[in-house]
Amino acid sequence: MISFFVILFGLLIGSFINVVIYRYPRSESLAFPPSHCPACDHPIKPWENIPLISYLFLKGKCSSCKSSISWRYPVVEALTSFIFYLSYLKFGLTWDLPVFALFGALLIAIAFIDIDHLIIPDSMIIIGFLPGFYLWLGGNSHILTSQFFGFVGLGGIFLAIRYFGEIAFKKEAMGFGDVKFAAMAGWVLGWDVGLVSMFLAFLSATLLFAVLLPTGVITRKQQVPFGPFICIGIWLGVLGGREIIDWYLTFFLGV
């Protein structure tokens, strides 16, 4: 039953994240006007706004003008729900659960906004720092040094990539939003788990490019947002970054 309610709450938050993804970059109110069809402005009734179920019931079309509803809406809802469920498995019924489940929802919003607009809003990065303060003020003050070096170190590494990449390729190699985002990751995760997370971010990007480049889905000259890969790396770090470090030390170094 607990798992059910966690999943259900995740679906509801996912529905709100869809609103954030669409409206926030456009500087629109998140509350007004109420949800409506972007094609015909038909107000969405409560029974048409049930996460996942309404999309299936409506067969992915507006009930008024029959315009197609983007597949992204149910995907974001399902993904947010999955993030909440994984958070429950990781943290159980502790205060860590809502903190990091909502942090995961924030990462989803950042990823899709970056995909759509090639930006990572500064305000969302600022909100992303909060879990780090939660860990520090919640009795884990000993991790402050790791957080500080994570903030400075990861931010510095990405700043160097941005600077030297621009020199090498004669164009912007990495957005400054990515630099700030990496610094935020270092603050939340600490320098060690933060490094693992960024390695996983670059690894996931490399694997995806290895598939999409040969198939022509993307081209070498195409500007591809890196924020979503940072989001993947951060979340994998939250779920198992410490375990990955322990495995590496045991397997390769025998520590």
User: What average pLDDT does range 135-151 have in this prediction?
Assistant: 83
CB 78 within 8 A of CB 71: no
pLDDT of residue 234: 97
Query: What is the rounded distance in angstroms from the CA atom of residue 111 to the CA atom of residue 19?
Result: 14
Query: Which of the four pLDDT bands, split at 50, 70 and 90, describes residue 139?
Result: low
pLDDT at 54 exceeding the cut of 70 = yes
User: What average pLDDT does range 93-104 have in this prediction?
Assistant: 96
Whole-prediction pTM value? Answer: 0.93
pLDDT at 254 exceeding the cut of 90 = no
Omega of the bond prior to 51 within 30 degrees of 0, cis? no
CB 230 within 8 A of CB 182: yes
C-alpha dist (Å) from residue 229 to 9, 62, 145, 184, 206: 25, 32, 26, 14, 10
